Structure 1
Amino acid sequence: MASAENDYLEKRRQQIARKQRIFTYILLFGFGGSILIGGFNTVKQAWEKPKQPVVVQSAETELQKQTKGYELVLQREPNNQLALEKLSIIRLKSGDIKGAIALMEKLVKLYPDRQDYKTVLTDVKKRMAQ
């Protein structure tokens, strides 16, 4: 009787092991298939997608856009601190030192407690004098 029971248990283990292998193969096949299909779709989309030209903007064009934006803000709000500050920086970068000094003087006038505005203004005036 112990032999029949051992045979039954052995057959049962073999059946379970076979089912596990089949299930593992099915999962591996499904996983591999999904990777292949995803890769195929990616390649297909890249192939079909028309190449878009890369738009390269110069730094000068970008500065001009920013300048226009801050000038529009200052038309609506003449005392906007951020717009005055950023526009003065842009004008310094573009070489318009007189325009930058005018904006910095306005900042110093509006915000006399800000020492950094005063310092930058004196530094720019020194550079202009040289």
Structure 2
Amino acid sequence: MPQSKPDEPFVRKVFKALVLVVGAAMFLSFSFGPILQALGPSDSQDTANLVTEQLRAQADGYRAVLEREPDNPIALRGLIDTQLQLNEPQGAIEPLKKLVELEPENRQLRAFLAQIQQDTGDLEGALEQLQILHEKDPKDSQVLQELADVQLALGRPSQAIELLENYLKEVPEDNDVRLRLAFIYVRNNQTEKAVALYDEMIAADPSDFAPVLGKAIALTSATDENLRAKAPELFEQAARLAPPKVREEIRQQAKLYAQRNQP
């Protein structure tokens, strides 16, 4: 007598049903949250493995298309998407570069490539993309700050400072960039410059907690003991000015800096 076929795991039945109902193309956008909560740990892992297999199969399909049509934007975007869903950002870089070549004026795409390169440790590659974006639009402060951050991460604080200082000569009212510049001054042991910049911002808007907090942090690294002694009061002032949800965090930071500066 032939043996009966083992029952198919419930989660595999669910998987097949979903593919049939919503279609293979839409399946990956379906939310598994409620289902995973209803299933046990082993079933949840089984579902995760099946989704991973599906994503890898899709990635292989996109690669096959790109072998025949290397400039196919749909396949390029599909491969990028599957690599990111697989949490394999390194595999998204080459198709992203190709897509940027095909759409050189797409700033969002180039900025996304720069972000992925930063996340995967390719700081020089990110720097190249950000410099292109900055040259095409020097007034884009978000790109400017990211460019300064990459320069700082590469151990080039003087280039980051020069970049921000030059921008502020043209747009002196940009407080986000002023805060970033003051922060880099502190990182570069230029405490006096940082404090002077924070004082300008505090005078312009005494209700803004950010420059008060920045000044407090800057003073914790001052060589003058009298200046360091002013930091606790500034931390408390910043906490009072800050939104309620961040006040406790500021006070915790104040305690950490106080402990660090104990003799």
Larger Rg: 1
SS in 2 for 1:113: coil
Does 1:114 pair with 2:140?
A: yes
The more displaced of 114-123 and 98-107 is 114-123
Check conservation: 2:90, 2:120, Cα contact below 8 A.
no
User: 1:31: which partner in 2?
Assistant: none
Q: Provide TM-score, normalisation by structure 1.
A: 0.53
SS in 2 for 1:129: coil
Q: Provide TM-score, normalisation by structure 2.
A: 0.28
Check conservation: 1:88, 1:104, Cα contact below 8 A.
yes
How far apart are the structure 2 equivalents of 1:47 and 1:76? 41
Greater helix content: 1
Which of 149, 167, 171 is 1:123 aligned to?
Answer: 149
Identity %: 20
Of structures 1 and 2, the one scoring higher in RCO (CA 8 A, sep 6+) is 1
Structure 1 segment 1-130 matched on structure 2, within 5 A? 46=10, 49=13, 54=50, 55=52, 62-129=88-155
Q: Deviations over 1:52-110 (max 9, x none)?
A: 85226786863134323321211212232011100000000000000000000001011
RMSD: 3.6
The answer for unaligned runs of 5 or more in structure 1 is 1-43
1:126 positional shift: 1.3
The answer for unaligned runs of 5 or more in structure 2 is 1-7, 17-45, 57-82, 157-263
**Count of residues in correspondence between the two structures:** 88
Check conservation: 1:73, 1:80, Cα contact below 8 A.
no
Check conservation: 2:127, 2:151, Cα contact below 8 A.
yes
